Structure 1
Amino acid sequence: MMVIKSYPRLIKWLTRVIILVLSCIMMFWAGAHLFVPGFIKKSASELGERIGYVVAYQDLSISPLRLKVELDGLHLAKEGDSKLLEFKKLVITLKWTKLVLGEIGFSEILLQEPKLVVEKKLPKGTQSGVWNWQELIAAIDKVVPPADPSKPQKPIKISIDELKVSSASLRLLDDSSGFKEELKPFTMKLLDVANYDQHGVVSGVRGQYDFNLGALQVLIPGINKSVTYQHVAITGGLDNSRSGNLGVQLNVKLDDGAVLSHWDFNTEAKSVDGKLEIQNLATAPIIPLLPANKELIGKSGAINAELSVKLGGDVDSVTGDIHLADLAIIEMGQKTPLIVWKMADIRQFEYQMLKSKQGAGNVLAINELIVDSPILQFEINEEGFSNFRRLFAKPATDSSAETASASPTDNSAVFNLDIRSMNLKNGEVFFSDLAMRPHFKVDVKRFNATLLGVSNTPGRFATVAMDGVVAGSGSMRARGQASFDDPRRNHDIQMGFKNLPLSALNPAAISFAGYQIASGRLNLNLNYKAKDGNLSGSNQIIIKKVELGEEVPDFKGKKLPLSLAIALLEDSDDTIDVTVRIAGNVDSPEFSASGLVWQAISTVLTNIATAPFRALGALMGLGANEGVNAVPGEAVFLVDDQDRLEKFGEYLVKRPNSSIEIIGTYDPVQDKKELARAKADTAILIDAGFKLSPGEPVPTPSMSDPRVQAGLKSAYAQYIGRIKLGQRLLMLPDNEQRNEQLHAELIAGTEITDAELRELAHERAKIAYGYMIKADPSLKERIQMGEVRAVGAGKEGIPLDVEVRIK
């Protein structure tokens, strides 16, 4: 102080400097408070007029010493149109230390209640629109003078210590797709944001961020369904490890679940690498998005996963493991869940999206898929449609239109599936058929299935193995292979059911046969093989100790002769063992495997009463769709029919609960004609000196043989007359035509009486009786001879008739 006092001129100059500085500060403060706000407001209004927008605000205050700006009630809108942006308050605080260094540094940016509208409108008569913010940017570019490319521009460093957005809202509107969504209210926080890296090089953006979106409901475009979460928060950070790379840590909190991810963006290679960890993410909000015809509800379920994502180049890929626990899905309006499982693991999967000029393709490869304790509800309603068909099948109009629009050579959406191993453990299936009266219900428990090599590549077959417990005490086992390109058209499956209680099948017996089943056990051995749609199936049905209950009163269907069938089919061990075969083409619109099986069984059971030989021949694999047939005009059965009669006898020995009555048959027209021929030819051959074997068909004489010619004349003289013969020999030349005429006149002149036809039928029955009791003479007590009967001849001959009776 003494030094300063000793220099009065110095004191005078310091005083002047201080007064000058204070005056400048006062003038700067006064200008900032009195003149700058008005200037800014005027400039904003002029800029708005130049670009065709309204830019207005309620109040602007500046604290020059603190470098703080407060803006209240901003309003930005296109003239005569909707708003783009408005907010209640914006507070910006700059940092002196950054400004001194030539940087723009913000210590704090606070934005209260911003309302942002992002909208695309379609002008009348146009098919495409422009986003409102694109229009704003284009309008500003028109009035801002372009930068001089010849002048080098030094990048400006920008940093923000903290940016807070509170009570914000965002509206998204797109007229072209009909998309409308509003996100509100949400908060956002950014920390330590800068456009330069740790070394001070301007290269991108880095920082930490925190978004609190609150409750979120987002409408998914195209399917008109929403995803809803009660609490959504996004946190993370940005970093620049080196030039051309941007690292993003993105952590999303969705209610009690979370998706933690880190993304590396390479701007030079135009690629993205990501690592995702999904923690306890609820499936309930996602289940309604499934493409079902009726809304599905997720009652429970959580996803945990570790995924790697690679985007860019010719292939985009997602790899990793997924774990889905405690899933329960229920159909809207139903009480019981449609699908439930304890756990499902998708291990080592890779999903690839291939991009090429020829078209895109998708590949899904899974090393192992495991589902533990699945429970499935499979129901057929009163109209005969399953719940899965009702839920997921496309309407007929949609599928037909899609088929018509699709090109047969369009391979742009190829999808290849490859699952190395698929396992279902300890599952349960509840099956019900409401089309039956009463309703049919059965359950399969402890269901296990293994599928190896599942692929939709044409020509590749997967190995299939399944087993389970049916209806409490029965068992099920299946083995085989199927082509998952189209398993319905190409497969080879063997399936066996053991010890099924027949009472569980009562609804089917009541609905289709008109009987109740009191007791019994059922074994089924099924073998189905399809090649390019052509199906052949074998159904071995083994029924043990069946007991029929009461008939269904007022049954309106085709009542089947079950009692009679049981008596004829059941052996001495009270076992019925029959095999029913089917064949058809699965591509046929009316094809139904179960319908073919039931039709075959119904035909067999009906034929038990009306055509037993035909029914048993089919069941025993003897062919003979026409049953057992006699040679027309003769009491003769060909060798195949003789064997069938013997086998039927052997069959009856083991079926002690049935007896039959053999009925000799004749055709009044066919047999009369053929019997006359047989009698005439027999006479010719005997007179010619030939010996005929009994039981053998009468051969047709060869008229070229002189002995036969002599026999023909002898038989003609005996049955037609010698005078008539003499006239023919004198009048007709001695040649082949005369012999044929004599032969025809001999047959026509041989009279056949009704008594002879009835005797022919009776003789046929006696011969058939002899063949049948050949296996066991004790059958004489169970095989009776009935009254002969006139029938119509078939293409195989004269069908032998029998009637089956319960012993």
Structure 2
Amino acid sequence: MVLTQLPRLKKWLIRFIILVLSWVVIFWVGAHLFVPGFIKKSASEFGAKIGYDIAYQDLSISPLRLKLELDGFHIAKSGGSKLLEFKKLVITAKWTKLVLGELGFDEILLVEPKILVEKKLSMGAHPGVWNWQELIAAVEKSMPPKDPGEPNKPLKISIDELLVSSASLSLLDNSTKLKEELKPFTMKLLDVANYDKQGVVSGVRGQYDFNLGALQVLVPGINKTITYQHVAIAGGLDNPQPGMLGVQLNVKLDDGAIRSHWDFNTDSKSVDGKLELENLAIAPLVALLPANKELTGKSGAINSALTMKFGPEADIFAGDIHISDLTVLEKDQKYPLIVWKMADIRQFEYKSLKSKQASSSSLSIDELIIDSPILQFEINEDGFSNFRRLFAKPASVQKTEAADGSKSKDASGFNLDIRSTNLKNGEVFFSDLAMRPHFKVDIKKFNATLLGVSNTPGRFATVAMDGVVAGSGSMRAKGQTSFDDPRRNHDILMTFRNLPLTAFNPAVMTFAGYQIASGRLNLNLNYRAKDGELNGSNQIIIKKVVLGDEVPDFTGKKLPLGLAIALLEDSDDTIDVTVKIAGNVDSPEFSASGLVWQAISNVLTNIATAPFRALASLIGLGSEEGINAVPGEAVFLAVDQDRLEKFGEYLIKRPNSSLEIIGTYDPVQDRKELARAKADSAVLKDAGFKLTPGEPIPVPSLSDPRVQSGLKSAYAQYIGRIKLGQRLLTLPDGEQRNEQLHNELIAGIGITDGELKELAKARAKAAYGFMIKSDASLKDRIQLGEVKTVEAGKEGIPLDVEIRIK
């Protein structure tokens, strides 16, 4: 039975095969002959409908293999630039996916695509829009409206491999004059799908690989360019659960790499990330520093492990950073600005809190270590340091920030906390080009430790530093400072030992007009500032100084260094002086170095013009007016007697100097007061009082009967008895008569110029006696000079001296 039906079955089978082959041939012929033309015509008509030119050169379809090849495609707005064009597009679909109702692709290959993203200038009050925004809006406008009642079943899409080769991207924004081009780059995506592993359409997952080639990008806003020679991006996407998207992002930048994983939570609107930097070159990033002049990086690499969290309430960064072999140069400069061998930032956390009222941020670091740092610190001819020139904001910006300072400070805050900072084996090269010749000094083997650095008001950090200065000298510092405002609050003690004075020749030549041939310098500096009020003590110890030649054609204020050395240097060839300064650091004209130099300059100038005043200041006797005699008398008050004795003791240890004491008098003040002294002396003696030699003559009490008797006797002696009798008869007895007699007695005593000169000589002899009191050997080094006239001061008649080199 079956055998009889075989010919009939065979016949129907042949007919079925012929029918299938016929349909295949018809489908193949239609796909090759009719479909390409139909698609091309439809694309052109659709483009014209939305105002765009859509065209291609050739379309090839392989229906059995589900493969499409499109050559020479472009899309452009009518009369405008091309938004997209490419050389070839190859798409291969998968039968197995189509059968299951999924749009699945085995491979998509895009060759030499060129993409233009452009934003043209706005017309009128309307803001400009991007060209792709215009295209999307035109397409959406041409589409028929959706039926809201029609169920929307998501379409599953998957791509096994997407490869883009030799691509280029142009970004133009005419409103901001942004013009960037990225080319050529490649991109590879593997196993891309819009559904998770359970088949639920929820997002995008897959593996990707971008090869961007050389990358040069102008960073908007700061107008700086970042450049890498080879850039590649790889990674993957996954959807571990609804509302979650995981992204693995690995970036290759030249010889360095950035590996990261990011978890996006759409429910909590937060992002968690882990970031690893491996041998990432710093040189391309140096150009991004906010400097006024271009900086270049010659070397340096970052290695780091970080965790990040971005959320609606706070952003947090934490981890460790290691930066090795850093070298940064200022453009057109020969020597590096900053160099270090290694820098470690350990256990840091940066937190930014978000609030509707105000935002705040904090940075905490457990340990900051910098090994072998080298710093170039230079002051130019105009007196500005290289760091000020590089990083100071323009004056207009500073004024604006100052005006808004209080407001911004209230609106936001930044808290800094660095538990430990260590600088090891560093070098600082300092130069001041404003001096002639240029001043240069270096500090090597520089070490510094700072504990508890914080900008919290009221908190102080402990500071300790040491180093080798100018080859043979040493530097050491310790103390504390408030990093909330270190200029206004600090207490620092610095000591310098065995510094070569010749290293400071440029400063001495610039400000004093001399050279130093040899000598060593020690400094003890103590500076304390509280709420801006600074008090500084500068102990200067100079050993075996030898003064060199004068600077030819010196135009400044030449200081008497020779006299100063002779007067200040002791028997051990040592000068030991202390200069104190005080001031308010908030004052616009405040300069600590300026105050120190002004104080030293004043002392050195006074050594020639007012030696007693200079010495009193240097050895701490507390007199700004020098030594003063009592007007009208050859007498010095006890405090000035003590100063004269101490000056004598001081000179004993200064064998290289000699002194000439010059007696002085004021022709007006002394004439009046000498008459008073003579009158009062006569009154008191006639009254029976004994006067102590060397002590000021006291003012007699006219209410004392003994003084009244002495007044009459002195009046009769100097004015005359007849005149006295007339006054006693015509004037009523009492206080008024006594005062008149006293005044007439003083007025009646005439003082000659000779008497004034003798008064001046007596003053010089009295001062001489006090100064040689401690050691008679000073008699050969202290001489009496010719008297001179002076103007009385508020403290009396100033004694004058001249210093001479022995």
Into which bin does the TM-score normalised by the smaller protein fall? over 0.9
Partners of 2:2 and 2:559 in 1: CA distance = 133
Please say if residues 572 and 656 of structure 1, whose CA atoms lie closer than 8 Å, have aligned partners that are also in contact. Answer: yes
Residue in structure 1 matched with residue 59 of structure 2 by the alignment: 60
2:499 equivalent to 1:474: no
Q: CA deviation at 1:60?
A: 1.9
Report 1:155-304 matches (<5 A).
155-304=154-303
Residue in structure 1 matched with residue 106 of structure 2 by the alignment: 107
1:36 alignment partner AA: V
String of CA shifts for 1:358-387, please: whole Å, max 9, x gaps: 232232211111100011111122222221
Please identify, of 701-710 and 644-653, the stretch whose mean Cα deviation from structure 2 is larger. Answer: 701-710
Residue in structure 2 matched with residue 21 of structure 1 by the alignment: 20
Residue in structure 2 matched with residue 138 of structure 1 by the alignment: 137
Partners of 1:116 and 1:406 in 2: CA distance = 46
Residue in structure 2 matched with residue 617 of structure 1 by the alignment: 616
Identity of aligned residues (%): 78
2:542 equivalent to 1:546: no
1:720 alignment partner AA: I
String of CA shifts for 1:737-760, please: whole Å, max 9, x gaps: 333222222211111111111111
Tell me: CA distance 1:411–1:49, structure 2 relative to 1, closer, same or farther (3 Å).
farther
Residue in structure 2 matched with residue 45 of structure 1 by the alignment: 44
Q: CA deviation at 1:680?
A: 1.4
SS at match of 1:69: strand
Unaligned runs of 5+ in 1: none
1:458 alignment partner AA: P
SS at match of 1:286: helix
Residue in structure 2 matched with residue 780 of structure 1 by the alignment: 779
SS at match of 2:287: helix
1:337 alignment partner AA: P
Report 1:402-421 matches (<5 A).
402-404=401-403, 408=407, 411-421=410-420
Q: CA deviation at 1:608?
A: 1.2
Residue in structure 2 matched with residue 122 of structure 1 by the alignment: 121
Please say if residues 650 and 776 of structure 1, whose CA atoms lie closer than 8 Å, have aligned partners that are also in contact. Answer: yes
Residue in structure 2 matched with residue 393 of structure 1 by the alignment: 392
Report 1:509-524 matches (<5 A).
509-524=508-523
Please identify, of 274-283 and 394-403, the stretch whose mean Cα deviation from structure 2 is larger. Answer: 394-403
SS at match of 1:75: strand
Q: CA deviation at 1:496?
A: 0.4
Q: CA deviation at 1:449?
A: 0.5
Compute the TM-score of the two structures, normalised by the length of structure 1.
Answer: 0.97
Partners of 1:466 and 1:248 in 2: CA distance = 47
Partners of 2:401 and 2:282 in 1: CA distance = 31
Report 1:317-336 matches (<5 A).
317-336=316-335
Tell me: CA distance 1:273–1:649, structure 2 relative to 1, closer, same or farther (3 Å).
same
2:673 equivalent to 1:686: no
Residue in structure 2 matched with residue 793 of structure 1 by the alignment: 792
Residue in structure 2 matched with residue 584 of structure 1 by the alignment: 583
1:82 alignment partner AA: S
Partners of 1:34 and 1:568 in 2: CA distance = 115
2:715 alignment partner AA: Y
Partners of 1:730 and 1:117 in 2: CA distance = 124
Please identify, of 79-88 and 227-236, the stretch whose mean Cα deviation from structure 2 is larger. Answer: 79-88
Residue in structure 2 matched with residue 437 of structure 1 by the alignment: 436
Please identify, of 203-212 and 506-515, the stretch whose mean Cα deviation from structure 2 is larger. Answer: 506-515
Q: CA deviation at 1:721?
A: 2.1
String of CA shifts for 1:748-776, please: whole Å, max 9, x gaps: 11111111111111111111111111211
Tell me: CA distance 1:31–1:370, structure 2 relative to 1, closer, same or farther (3 Å).
same
Residue in structure 2 matched with residue 356 of structure 1 by the alignment: 355
Please identify, of 126-135 and 577-586, the stretch whose mean Cα deviation from structure 2 is larger. Answer: 126-135
Residue in structure 2 matched with residue 427 of structure 1 by the alignment: 426
Partners of 2:82 and 2:406 in 1: CA distance = 46
Q: CA deviation at 1:175?
A: 3.1
Please identify, of 290-299 and 133-142, the stretch whose mean Cα deviation from structure 2 is larger. Answer: 133-142
SS at match of 2:636: coil
Tell me: CA distance 1:264–1:124, structure 2 relative to 1, closer, same or farther (3 Å).
same
1:393 alignment partner AA: A
2:640 alignment partner AA: D
Please say if residues 259 and 278 of structure 1, whose CA atoms lie closer than 8 Å, have aligned partners that are also in contact. Answer: yes
Please say if residues 93 and 106 of structure 1, whose CA atoms lie closer than 8 Å, have aligned partners that are also in contact. Answer: yes
String of CA shifts for 1:626-650, please: whole Å, max 9, x gaps: 1011111111111111111111111
SS at match of 2:153: coil
Please say if residues 4 and 11 of structure 1, whose CA atoms lie closer than 8 Å, have aligned partners that are also in contact. Answer: no
Tell me: CA distance 1:226–1:512, structure 2 relative to 1, closer, same or farther (3 Å).
same
Partners of 1:746 and 1:576 in 2: CA distance = 53
Partners of 1:60 and 1:4 in 2: CA distance = 51
Partners of 2:516 and 2:6 in 1: CA distance = 130
Tell me: CA distance 1:402–1:176, structure 2 relative to 1, closer, same or farther (3 Å).
farther
Partners of 1:725 and 1:57 in 2: CA distance = 139
Q: CA deviation at 1:405?
A: 5.6
Tell me: CA distance 1:411–1:181, structure 2 relative to 1, closer, same or farther (3 Å).
farther
Please say if residues 4 and 10 of structure 1, whose CA atoms lie closer than 8 Å, have aligned partners that are also in contact. Answer: no
Tell me: CA distance 1:787–1:588, structure 2 relative to 1, closer, same or farther (3 Å).
same
2:6 equivalent to 1:7: yes
SS at match of 1:627: coil
SS at match of 1:545: strand
Please say if residues 128 and 176 of structure 1, whose CA atoms lie closer than 8 Å, have aligned partners that are also in contact. Answer: no
SS at match of 2:605: helix
Please identify, of 86-95 and 775-784, the stretch whose mean Cα deviation from structure 2 is larger. Answer: 775-784
Partners of 1:364 and 1:229 in 2: CA distance = 30
1:420 alignment partner AA: R
Tell me: CA distance 1:201–1:4, structure 2 relative to 1, closer, same or farther (3 Å).
farther
Tell me: CA distance 1:197–1:4, structure 2 relative to 1, closer, same or farther (3 Å).
farther
String of CA shifts for 1:504-554, please: whole Å, max 9, x gaps: 122222222222222211100001112222221110000111112222233
Unaligned runs of 5+ in 2: none
Please say if residues 520 and 546 of structure 1, whose CA atoms lie closer than 8 Å, have aligned partners that are also in contact. Answer: yes
Partners of 2:125 and 2:421 in 1: CA distance = 51
Q: CA deviation at 1:675?
A: 1.0
String of CA shifts for 1:107-127, please: whole Å, max 9, x gaps: 000111111122223312337
SS at match of 1:609: helix
Q: CA deviation at 1:4?
A: 6.6
2:503 alignment partner AA: A
Partners of 1:670 and 1:409 in 2: CA distance = 63
Partners of 1:404 and 1:310 in 2: CA distance = 35
Residue in structure 2 matched with residue 314 of structure 1 by the alignment: 313
Tell me: CA distance 1:494–1:128, structure 2 relative to 1, closer, same or farther (3 Å).
farther
Q: CA deviation at 1:160?
A: 0.4
Tell me: CA distance 1:764–1:283, structure 2 relative to 1, closer, same or farther (3 Å).
same
Report 1:568-607 matches (<5 A).
568-607=567-606
Please identify, of 423-432 and 731-740, the stretch whose mean Cα deviation from structure 2 is larger. Answer: 731-740
Please say if residues 70 and 91 of structure 1, whose CA atoms lie closer than 8 Å, have aligned partners that are also in contact. Answer: yes
Please say if residues 219 and 225 of structure 1, whose CA atoms lie closer than 8 Å, have aligned partners that are also in contact. Answer: yes
Q: CA deviation at 1:687?
A: 2.3
Residue in structure 2 matched with residue 721 of structure 1 by the alignment: 720
2:330 alignment partner AA: E
1:65 alignment partner AA: L
Please say if residues 630 and 636 of structure 1, whose CA atoms lie closer than 8 Å, have aligned partners that are also in contact. Answer: yes
Q: CA deviation at 1:54?
A: 2.5
Partners of 1:21 and 1:703 in 2: CA distance = 153
2:150 equivalent to 1:151: yes
2:106 alignment partner AA: S
Report 1:371-386 matches (<5 A).
371-386=370-385
Residue in structure 1 matched with residue 448 of structure 2 by the alignment: 449
Partners of 2:9 and 2:561 in 1: CA distance = 132
Tell me: CA distance 1:262–1:409, structure 2 relative to 1, closer, same or farther (3 Å).
closer
